[in-house]
Structure 1
Amino acid sequence: MTTLYLVRHGIKVKEIGDVPLSANGLEQAKLTASLLEDKSIKHVYASPLRRAKETAQCIASPHALPVLEDDRLRERANWGDLAGQTFQEFVDMWNRCSRDREYVPPVGDSAQRAGERLDAFAKEVSKVHANDEIVAVTHGAIITDFMINCLSLDELNQLHPRFLEMQSQLIPECSITVIQVNDRGYQLQRFADVRHL
């Protein structure tokens, strides 16, 4: 059985594009690294976006591990990927994706497809690194997209009674969601845990 720690990146600088962590985000990443330091982490993966890679580097450093980039961990869409898009236009696009999981925005992936990417990643690394503990630093929406794809509505509503409606607010920065992966599928161990922050 493989243990997968899904970590949302820390708080980012509030600007357009592929932005770094803010000072608060870097502190969150260090606290997350401290919590995971005594775990037997064998591999650290990250979304190619800068805020995720910086968070992953903090986590990987105590284990002397490289950060392995994987495009499947990238967010649905990133503000700045579509030239000329205002922030409000981005938010409207984002909300439409959350409501209509099949909607393919002009840039990025549908919520359904984003969840499928993370599902494919989890299945692959659990086979390649069977029985290891693995960290994947990614983004909030792709974590909930994955969960909506792979868990039942009853399971989701046990985590929050209005999971689908509230999904965009359920994964705080540097929260840790722990999933065990085996031949039978996924077993959720912890959801959006922020006790270390």
Structure 2
Amino acid sequence: MTTFYLVRHGVKEKVAGDAPLSPAGVLQAQATASYFRRMPIRAIYTSPLRRARETAERIALECGLTLAVERRLRERANWGDLPGQSFDEFVAMWDRCTRERDYVPPVGDSARQAGKRLCSLMKQLSAAHPGSEAVLVTHGGLITDFLLNEIPEERLEAWHPHFAAAQSELVPECSITKLLYVGEQFQLDRFASTCHLTHESP
């Protein structure tokens, strides 16, 4: 069994392109790093986007591990990747990708493609490091893209009614989603928990 912790990056600055963490996001990232310090994490991987890297760097430092950048952890699309695209245009494109999971936008991947690349990474890591625990710092959209590909809808709706329709609102910044990979199947153990940010029990 391999255990994966999918961490969404902290709150970012509201700018186009490769946005950094905001001051609030830095505090979230540090709280998340403190949480993982007590755990037997063996590896940490991050999306190349700055907001994810800045979150992951703090976790790696607390855990005493070397951080690895992995392009398969990138969001399905990022505002600023398409030159001249306004934020409203980006949101409209994003929403269409969410509704139509096989729609390939002018830049980036379809929701289904994005989920498949995260799945391929997790299976590869599980084969290389069986029985280990790994943190993957990524993006909210990619997390739900993966879950909708790999977890039966009725199980997702046990975590939140109308999961597919509400997906864009379900993964807060620096939340932790825990998955177990057992017998070539993914099991969702915890979804979008923020207890470590509020000092509550998970």
- Identify whether the pair has TM-score above 0.5, normalized to the shorter chain: yes
2-structure distance, mates of 1:105, 1:42: 35
Paired with 1:161 and 1:188, the residues of 2 have a C-alpha distance of: 16
Q: What amino acid maps onto 1:78 in structure 2?
A: N
1:112-168 deviation digits (Å, cap 9, x = unpaired): 000001111111111111111100000001000000000111011111111011000
Spell out the pairing of 1:180-191 with structure 2 (5 A cutoff): 180-191=180-191
Secondary structure, counterpart of 1:3 in structure 2: strand
Equivalent position amino acid for 2:112 in 1: Q
Question: Equivalent residue of 1:196, what SS?
Answer: helix
Note if contact 1:76-1:141 (Cα within 8 Å) is conserved in structure 2.
Answer: yes
Over the aligned positions, Cα root-mean-square deviation in angstroms equals 0.7
- Asked if structure 1 preserves the Cα contact closer than 8 Å seen for 2:72 and 2:118, the reply is yes
Q: Is the 8 A contact 2:7 2:176 kept in 1?
A: yes
Deviation at 1:188?
A: 1.1
Mapped to 2, the partners of 1:66 and 1:189 lie a distance apart of: 26
Q: CA deviation at 1:182?
A: 2.3
Read off the aligned partner of 1:104 and give its amino acid letter.
Answer: V
Which residue in 2 is equivalent to 1:143? 143
Q: Which residue of 2 aligns with 1:97?
A: 97
Q: CA separation in 1, counterparts of 2:150 and 2:63?
A: 30
- Aligned partner of 2:37 in structure 1 is 37
Query: Which residue number corresponds to residue 83 of structure 1?
Result: 83
Unaligned ranges ≥5, structure 1: none
Partners of 2:70 and 2:151 in 1: CA distance: 23
Q: Deviations over 1:42-82 (max 9, x none)?
A: 10000000000010011110222111011100000000000
The residue aligned with 1:172 is 172
Distance 2:53 2:182 in 1: 27
Bigger shift: residues 57-66 or 171-180: 57-66
Percent identity reads 54
Partners of 2:26 and 2:129 lie apart in 1 by: 28
Q: Is the CA contact (8 Å cut-off) linking 2:151 and 2:188 kept in structure 1? A: no
Paired letter, 2:155: E
Q: What runs of 5+ residues in structure 2 fail to find an aligned partner?
A: 198-202
Equivalent pair of 1:178/1:189 in contact (CA under 8 Å): yes
Q: Which amino acid aligns with 1:159?
A: W
Structure 1 residue 194 corresponds to structure 2 residue 194? yes
The answer on whether the counterparts of 1:126 and 1:182 sit within 8 Å (CA) in structure 2 is no
Normalised TM-score (structure 2): 0.96
